[in-house]
Structure 1
């Protein structure tokens, strides 16, 4: 059983106009940022991703798919974390830290 409903953009606009939808809930957490917080912010763009064919165990794929859309991004994030950890470990071993 699911509570997912397909509605049109016009229906969404009508719901927003009638107050059924709000941009920000009243109970959403807020945080005041100090003046100049974004002054030194820089846009960081990742390199273009490379498409590959990858064979993955069925249970691994099902695990990531279970969280819904974005499973390939999550898999990439896990691989990136592993790569960074391995590089840091290798760097510490070679630098004597």
Structure 2
């Protein structure tokens, strides 16, 4: 995965490869993403995802995902983050012409 605008790779713990293998094994190498209708994806998992954003690398915050589900989740999170950083410009409130000095 290319993290062109992220320092995510540098923030992973040094033992990330061991953690990653453990999570993939725990989840049976199957994607744990759940669709809106309640079905689980179940495709072969290749990635380990942080359920909640941030640097909590505990097993409870990690799950196995297939590449497609991980990409979809990461894109959604990136779009949400970008929107929250977008500059919001308020138009000046126009005064009614009859109220002008």
Shared fold by TM > 0.5?
no
Length-normalised TM-score, structure 1? 0.31
Which one scores higher on RCO, CA 8 angstroms, separation ≥ 6? 2
Length-normalised TM-score, structure 2? 0.30
Larger Rg: 1
Q: Select the structure that is richer in strand.
A: 2
